[in-house]
Structure 1
Amino acid sequence: MTYKPRVFSISSGTAFLPHFVDALLSGVLIDNFAPNGDIQAALADTLIYVPTRRAARALRTAFVERSATQSTFLPTIRALGDLDGDSFFFVENYTCTLNLPIGESERLLLLARLIRPWRENLPAHLRAMFEAEDVLIPAHTADSIWLAQDLAHLMDEIETESADWSKLKDIAPDMVAEWWQITLDFLTIVTQSWPQILQERQRSNPAEWRNQALKMHAETLHHTKPNKPILAAGVSGSIPAVSHLLRVIASLPKGAVVLPGLDFHMDEEQWEALDTINKEKTTCDFSDYETNAFSHPQYHLKKLLSLMKCHRIHVREIGQQSAITKKRMALLSEALRPASTTDRWVQIVRDDYENLCANWSFIETINEREEALAIAVALRNAIEEPQKNAALITNDRNLARRVSVELQRFGIEANDSGGIPLAQTLPSTLLRLILENVFQPSDPIAFLSLLKHPLITLKQNRHRLREMAENFELFVLRGSTGRIHLRKCDQFIEKWIKTCSKNTSDDCTLDQQKSEEAHLLCQLLVKAVEPLASLMEQEKECSINEAAIATVEVFENFGRDENDSLAHLYQHEVGQALSTFLRELVSDQSGLKFHLCEWPAMFSALIATRSVTPSPGGHPRLFIWGTLESRLQTVDTVVIGGLNEGSWPITTHNDAFLSRPMKMMLTLEPPEQHIGLSAHDFQWAMGMNKVVMSRALRVNHVPSLPSRWLQRLETVIGKQVWKQIRARGEKVLHWAKMLDNTNMVACATRPCPVPPLKMRPRHFSVTEIATLRYDPYAIYAKKILHLKPLKALTYDPCAAERGTLYHAILAAFCTQIKNPKAANALDVLLTLGRKEFDKLNLPADVETIWWTNFENLAPFILQWERSLEPRERYAEVVSQKIPIDTTGVTLSGRADRIDVLPNKTVEIIDFKTTTPPSSKQVRDLLFPQLALETALLMKGAFTDFQNLTPSNLFYIPLNGKGEITPKSIFSKKGEKEHQSIISLGEKAWEHLIALIEYYKNPQQGYLSHAVPMIKQYESDYDHLARLWEWSNGFHEGDQS
């Protein structure tokens, strides 16, 4: 019998599945489909292959809709692209001698076990190529797993293409560069060690299993030639084993193959140009042949028809197309013609292109956020008309998720059928946070992210646990400079309680109830992580299943609710996928041993390849598809999103293990073949009734390039028509921008609250007087509203903390060492410094720098102390509160140091770790602290220094950069200067009285930034004052 394959095609621009159903039921595809007119019996006996499970579901729906008025049998529908669940149906009726496919995790871990010792076993002549450098990869077990993923991908690619690994032996050293010889040695893992492991475990590679299953099924069909309808619908045959099956199906008595979107508009020159690769494939120089043919949308269909020995003219086109649709598809075919024939574009006659492109729009946005919003608006507008449906098709999963979120503005739930990485799901983030916090001292952000995770319960009431976590954040973590360790957080809280019990400042208030809650929370956490903690204490290598068992125990300890239930951890598709993944790890028998400290990185590498596909659901007329899921689908309006190079098409990369010539020697096709598949998806999508194309000018803050197909369309269509297409897209973009537009809101005015007199402060410290003068609003917020800035969560000590530390050290030194000329003075100073440093528990990096600076500064401090004339030294002197004249307000202060000289005068000293103000600024009372301390001294507020008069005022810079140079407010000592200091104190007191009286006026408010500072000033309350809404930057002052 003459071989005559039955091959059909449904063109782009035609609803594939409805036309396929009609053609099948009407007998177009299968002659005498229902011999006795019994359609139901024929359907029940029919077997149909489709590319994906989504296509299978859609085809079932098409059959149901076709018989909406009556019940009907459905044919058996199998998805060739998802053989994981359906592979057994190929061999269920006959003996299969092939070993079952190896599991994904098992394969990765076995390969990692082989890869990890590779660099130690590298032959000497190859190691010599590194010269003095060491071989660094794989450096860790996690590196081995990542390499195993790449190697597994290469194995699948070679076995999918039915290539022969043994040909690697034929590659002579002089045929490849020296570095590729190292790769060839590395690949002996696959060619020699891996087959032995598979044989020992009686397993096979997944791709090889699929190939053999398809081959056996094809051979059975070929030999038995069953007299029942067997069809393939929408399968392009990009996998050789599938192509072979399609060839057999097309030859069956009741077989038929229906191709998706075979292009009948291509002339013979274009069609034959796609044969370039096949004709030249016998060469070994990959650079000689034209890879552009691989990236053509019709390449795989041309290759399939060549295998089936079926010329394009013998393929029967089914499905009705309108005249305008045919012309539009011809236009698209022209735009996508092979690169070698694009010189024909100069002959294009742009006849009626404006009408052909009337349903096309193009949206170009600034960034992906704006693109997602515009797409959401376009989709929402598309389903405004009842019974109409719409879909977004994109390879960019981040864009898909953004659009899904933006659609929620309109109350639309749209699932991304492309799936999401398992590592990014809610239960997986809890697992990763647990591992991050267990295996390394964590910063407070990571620790709080764990405490506030929505799935954490610790067998407690969820609301109570959240309250405990927030109190722990507010009272313990914020403002802390320490690094909390999850396994030792009970020690952390005990140390914190001990510190607070000794600290009398307002910043460390010890609340009994809060401390008990914090202690309980830490006990719960320590108990929850005990399985992993005990495993770490063993300090020995462990296996995957040991680490996985401990990890699952800890994970479930964190997620077990107050009713001892774990249901919320493993619910829905996400929970089921995670459960399957964890079970694989728990049951692992790969024999891979590793140090437990490597486990977090290994876990991340193992889970990276897993994804979760959501169950069907969401809006019934609006969809988000990846390119694979969109195949054979038809909607009224399609948005093709992310039309940038790298997304449409996805960037192709040369293989990490094989160069192009090496791939050619193995008869593998170049990575450009994937561009061809993506181009076919693009061509199919462009055939929808209404098309909206979109791209962002910048993606991830980086300029992007428009997709090559977008550029081709623009070139072929012409500037005038393309301008109209763009204008329609700009209209949608305008709608999107208007969503977030608001009426012009007047900027806030400078705040000047006027509280009643009874609410106003009755006491100030000397350090608050400058603030009252320059920024009264800060005083209002602090002393009237009693607002305190929330301490930073990740708090890095700064100059203020360094100043407090140095003050404490110098105060202790001043108290303990009466004679700075003593021989042991420097040792005492350093010892006191070490003691004060230890109290702060500074981060290691900060302490190293600060302590080094202090060690350098200490001799200069002692040198300055010894240079002073004999005196009595008093540190951290606190004054009494004294009334400010008759204002009803009191003032107090604290002097860093007061020295009493033999002549019964005193010097007031202020230590500064930052740049001190100039003498003139102090004398002009722009910085009145020292002047007011002088006034307090003169008025007897420092009770131990009554009847003493000031003789000088000093700033002592402590910058750690060298010799200490005291900065005197009055350069010379003498009666004149003595009287000037007294006059300065009296002047400061008079100004203070005037300032306080000013705010006793009930009409006077507390103005924000009332007087511009002469140096940079930032208040903790600037955001509350909405400073940047009304200021023009004057508050930053003169920084020169």
Structure 2
Amino acid sequence: ISAAEPRLALRAALVGEALRPAETTELWAETRAGFSAPDIAGAFADVTLLEAASERDEAVAIAVALKRAVEQPGQRAALVTGDRALARRVSIELQRFGVVADDSGGTPLANTPAASLLRLALEAVFRPGDPMSLLSLFKHPLLGLGLERADVRHAAELVELVALRGGTGRPDIVSLPELFEARLIGLGSDSRPPFWFSRLTVRSIEGSRNLLERLAQALAPVAAFRGQADIDLAALVEASVVALENLGRTADGSLGELYAGDAGEKLAELLRGLVAASAPLSFAGNEWPDVMAALIAPETVKPAQGTDRNIAIWGALEARLQTVDTLVIGGLNEGVWPRKPESDRFMSRLMKTGIDLEPPERRIGLAAHDFQMAMGMKKVVLARSARAGDAPAVPSRWLQRLLTFIGNDQAVELRRRGDELLAWARALDTGPRQDFAPRPQPKPPLSVRPGHFSVTEIETLRRDPYAVYARRILGLIPLDPVIRDPGAAERGTLFHAILHMFSARVADPRAPDALAGLIAAGRACFADAALPADVEAVWWPRFEKLAANIIEWDRTRADAVIRRHAEERAGKTIVSQSGVTLSGYADRVDLLAGGMADILDYKTGSSPSKAQAHTLLAPQLALEGALLRRGAFKDLGAREPSQLAFIRLKPNGEVFEESILEHNRQPRTATDLAEEAWARLEKLLIHYADPTTGYLSRALPFREGETDGDYDHLARVLEWSAGGDAGDEGGEA
């Protein structure tokens, strides 16, 4: 073994002193004096400190450092890190230089396309109810089913629209063909079908039916085991392999794409081993996805050929016995160098000490040894990022010790060399300056602007005019959300339907059978809703508690009410001089003596608030009062509003009436509030009758910073708001 170069030996001595045990660091003052500044500068002349602002910047700079290191023929470079996420980032960044790094860690088999197809298929069969798993399976690039890929994709899109979007439910891949047919029939009989329904053709529907039939046949081998409590491993593996190959078969019957490349060969090898395994093992069918995931998890895919042998990515263990010309030590933050000691799941620290097992901290010492050995390479780049994820990162204790020991002057020089790498990394993505997209404010011709609104659209017109432009003028209708479990919106709709049915059936809440009538209406609506058993088990007791309180509240006002009207429709009414018409629905209108009426709006949630309604940020209730005064409710005639109120139906069963006529000790009459809302609406509509007025994006958002509107992506909200074009955008608390 040849002696180390003098400067490498000096560097080793300096690193050794920096990493001396904490109990002896008081000796630094003495030992530091033994190293002169020129000696330290010479020892660290080929050491670079790269401190990036983010993990991505760190990965790009490391890729640049590795590429530069092998520019000279015969030179080799490597990255050593325990952070697999960083290793994957660097591998991707190296590909922009046409370099496929020799990564000793490889790619987890579970992340490869073929393995993910198997995982999605098993989850779809044994974990029914998740529409996202089904969508992922339908859109998987390897799903063939013996059809052309384009045909599979087109048929899957129709299945998604018909069976997996809109409404609530828990789709099951076994019964998906029946669900598709039932929802297709329902859409055909719907008075207001979705915008895409008219575009369906017989050919496209038959294509989707064929896809679902083939999918059911492909998964039949594993679906047969669903619900069984004791299944042999070998039988399940064989069935899973058959199902996987059925799914991945191309139009010509080939399995070449499924088992293509190193990843496909690795999966085939694993499955062959499982089929041939003789160890007895049995478990319940619904455990099979987890068992298969556990079997696949340790497996990695390492490219057999095609990698660049001059650039490698190693873990600390591989780096111990290998030498390169340039070594990058990446991820030099606490938690990576060193890793946090993990508690043993089965043995406590005290138990380990009692039987002379090594404590978790011993691995910290081994990691320190790995760091010192890595510092012995000829050229070293120390790399870290200032942030890990969304949180600030703490530099590795060894990096802190090293920089402290060699002094600030040397640390500045190391950082200067690192800044050069960062500058080159930033230059890779430097291009002509592009201005941020401006905040959209389209100004369509008056002839295409809406001439009619419903009362529920007025708040949108005030808050986000661009959404009105996109929906009403461009005709862009958002797709229904993915089918889901019933939530707050569905609960509100259900309770509204119950109260409407009750009002139609029971004229007087003071009747002895009023509560029974409300319960009967509830049972009928719950039956129509066909809720999942676990959801109904929560909602029904909540409704029963509400029912008694609803009757009690209704009886307190029954003496003053002449007649109750549920879900009354207000016809189109011209808004003064604007020429635009307005219509709407009222949840409930109670007729009183003297030509008066109360307008009530049932609310199962907290939005809109009383303050928003009183200040006319949410003007729906006040506009209904204005429509009532103008006789828009044809069956009621022109009446004066006496009360405008929300009826809050709380989850704990509480029912209370919340008038919007008073806020912050400022009372208003219903007539005044209704007329002010009408005057503001007229002014707003006249404003949009001006051809120079545009439909501004997010004029008055509900909350500052929210970007989940149906048309926010079309308006490029994230882009123009990041560019500083949100100065006049406000929000509500």
Q: How does 1:472-551 map to 2 (within 5 A)?
A: 472-501=159-188, 503-505=190-192, 510=197, 512-513=200-201, 517-537=207-227, 539-551=228-240
Q: Deviations over 1:117-171 (max 9, x none)?
A: xxxxxxxxxxxxxxxxxxxxxxxxxxxxxxxxxxxxxxxxxxxxxxxxxxxxxxx
One-letter code aligned to 2:493: T
One-letter code aligned to 1:524: R
Of 659-668 and 792-801, the range deviating more from structure 2: 659-668
1:997 maps to 2:681 = no
Secondary structure, aligned partner of 2:568: strand
1:913 maps to 2:604 = yes
Contact 1:359 1:689 in 2 (8 A): yes
Kindly tell me: are residues 705 and 780 of structure 1, through their superposed partners in 2, closer, same or farther at Cα, counting changes over 3 Å?
closer
1:891 maps to 2:582 = yes
One-letter code aligned to 2:136: S
Secondary structure, aligned partner of 1:600: helix
Kindly tell me: are residues 968 and 387 of structure 1, through their superposed partners in 2, closer, same or farther at Cα, counting changes over 3 Å?
closer
1:626 maps to 2:315 = yes
Distance in 2, Cα, partners of 1:465 & 1:334:
65
Match 2:447 to one of 742, 752, 758: 758
Determine the structure 2 residue equivalent to 1:414: 101
One-letter code aligned to 1:543: D
Kindly tell me: are residues 602 and 993 of structure 1, through their superposed partners in 2, closer, same or farther at Cα, counting changes over 3 Å?
closer
Kindly tell me: are residues 906 and 358 of structure 1, through their superposed partners in 2, closer, same or farther at Cα, counting changes over 3 Å?
closer
Distance in 2, Cα, partners of 1:488 & 1:998:
53
Distance in 1, Cα, partners of 2:611 & 2:331:
63
One-letter code aligned to 2:726: S
One-letter code aligned to 1:400: A
Distance in 2, Cα, partners of 1:944 & 1:566:
68
Of 628-637 and 329-338, the range deviating more from structure 2: 329-338
Kindly tell me: are residues 982 and 607 of structure 1, through their superposed partners in 2, closer, same or farther at Cα, counting changes over 3 Å?
closer
Kindly tell me: are residues 343 and 575 of structure 1, through their superposed partners in 2, closer, same or farther at Cα, counting changes over 3 Å?
same
Secondary structure, aligned partner of 2:224: helix
Contact 1:436 1:442 in 2 (8 A): no
Q: How does 1:600-615 map to 2 (within 5 A)?
A: 600-615=289-304
Determine the structure 2 residue equivalent to 1:836: 525
Distance in 1, Cα, partners of 2:205 & 2:157:
13
Match 1:562 to one of 251, 264, 274: 251
Distance in 1, Cα, partners of 2:612 & 2:392:
51
Of 641-650 and 872-881, the range deviating more from structure 2: 641-650
Of 838-847 and 810-819, the range deviating more from structure 2: 838-847
Q: How does 1:800-815 map to 2 (within 5 A)?
A: 800-815=489-504
Kindly tell me: are residues 859 and 503 of structure 1, through their superposed partners in 2, closer, same or farther at Cα, counting changes over 3 Å?
farther
Determine the structure 1 residue equivalent to 2:726: 1031
Contact 1:456 1:559 in 2 (8 A): yes
Contact 1:394 1:400 in 2 (8 A): yes
Determine the structure 1 residue equivalent to 2:551: 862
Secondary structure, aligned partner of 1:536: coil
Q: Percentage identity across aligned positions?
A: 45
Determine the structure 1 residue equivalent to 2:35: 350
Determine the structure 2 residue equivalent to 1:463: 150
Distance in 2, Cα, partners of 1:671 & 1:1034:
53
Aligned residues: 713
Distance in 2, Cα, partners of 1:1016 & 1:388:
50
One-letter code aligned to 1:350: F
Kindly tell me: are residues 666 and 477 of structure 1, through their superposed partners in 2, closer, same or farther at Cα, counting changes over 3 Å?
same
Contact 2:18 2:401 in 1 (8 A): yes
Secondary structure, aligned partner of 1:879: strand
Question: Per-residue deviation at 1:559?
Answer: 1.2
One-letter code aligned to 1:758: S
Q: How does 1:634-713 map to 2 (within 5 A)?
A: 634-644=323-333, 647-648=336-337, 682=371, 685-697=374-386, 699=388, 710=399, 713=402
Question: Per-residue deviation at 1:529?
Answer: 1.7
One-letter code aligned to 1:596: G
One-letter code aligned to 1:855: E
Distance in 2, Cα, partners of 1:720 & 1:377:
26
Secondary structure, aligned partner of 1:958: strand
Contact 1:762 1:888 in 2 (8 A): yes
Distance in 1, Cα, partners of 2:601 & 2:433:
50
Question: Per-residue deviation at 1:534?
Answer: 0.9
Secondary structure, aligned partner of 2:101: coil
Determine the structure 1 residue equivalent to 2:69: 382
Match 1:787 to one of 463, 473, 476: 476
- Structure 1: segments with no counterpart, 5+ residues: 1-8, 13-321, 972-976
One-letter code aligned to 2:580: V
Contact 1:753 1:1007 in 2 (8 A): yes
- Structure 2: segments with no counterpart, 5+ residues: none
Distance in 1, Cα, partners of 2:501 & 2:226:
43
Kindly tell me: are residues 505 and 798 of structure 1, through their superposed partners in 2, closer, same or farther at Cα, counting changes over 3 Å?
farther
Q: How does 1:294-373 map to 2 (within 5 A)?
A: 324-325=7-8, 327-328=10-11, 346-347=30-31, 349-351=34-36, 352-373=39-60
Secondary structure, aligned partner of 2:225: helix
Kindly tell me: are residues 930 and 332 of structure 1, through their superposed partners in 2, closer, same or farther at Cα, counting changes over 3 Å?
closer
In angstroms, what is the RMSD of aligned CA positions?
A: 4.3
Match 2:647 to one of 957, 969, 972: 957
Secondary structure, aligned partner of 2:191: coil
Determine the structure 2 residue equivalent to 1:297: none
Distance in 2, Cα, partners of 1:1013 & 1:704:
34
Distance in 1, Cα, partners of 2:483 & 2:416:
49
Kindly tell me: are residues 669 and 861 of structure 1, through their superposed partners in 2, closer, same or farther at Cα, counting changes over 3 Å?
closer
Distance in 1, Cα, partners of 2:498 & 2:466:
34
Contact 2:564 2:590 in 1 (8 A): yes
Of 595-604 and 1014-1023, the range deviating more from structure 2: 1014-1023
Distance in 2, Cα, partners of 1:789 & 1:554:
35
Kindly tell me: are residues 847 and 407 of structure 1, through their superposed partners in 2, closer, same or farther at Cα, counting changes over 3 Å?
farther
Kindly tell me: are residues 906 and 506 of structure 1, through their superposed partners in 2, closer, same or farther at Cα, counting changes over 3 Å?
farther
Question: Per-residue deviation at 1:400?
Answer: 1.2
Q: Deviations over 1:673-723 (max 9, x none)?
A: 877876666555434332112234554667766556545644664443344
Distance in 1, Cα, partners of 2:657 & 2:18:
80
Distance in 2, Cα, partners of 1:886 & 1:711:
74
Match 2:571 to one of 880, 895, 899: 880
Kindly tell me: are residues 584 and 620 of structure 1, through their superposed partners in 2, closer, same or farther at Cα, counting changes over 3 Å?
closer
Determine the structure 2 residue equivalent to 1:929: 620
Contact 2:108 2:299 in 1 (8 A): yes
Distance in 1, Cα, partners of 2:361 & 2:331:
19
Kindly tell me: are residues 696 and 992 of structure 1, through their superposed partners in 2, closer, same or farther at Cα, counting changes over 3 Å?
closer
Contact 1:916 1:957 in 2 (8 A): no
Distance in 2, Cα, partners of 1:649 & 1:741:
35
One-letter code aligned to 2:61: A
Contact 1:481 1:841 in 2 (8 A): no
Question: Per-residue deviation at 1:602?
Answer: 1.9
TM-score under structure 1 length normalisation: 0.60
Secondary structure, aligned partner of 2:99: coil
Distance in 1, Cα, partners of 2:703 & 2:372:
66
Q: Which has the higher contact order (CA 8 A, sep 6+)?
A: 2
Match 1:736 to one of 425, 430, 443: 425
Contact 1:390 1:622 in 2 (8 A): yes
Question: Per-residue deviation at 1:887?
Answer: 5.0
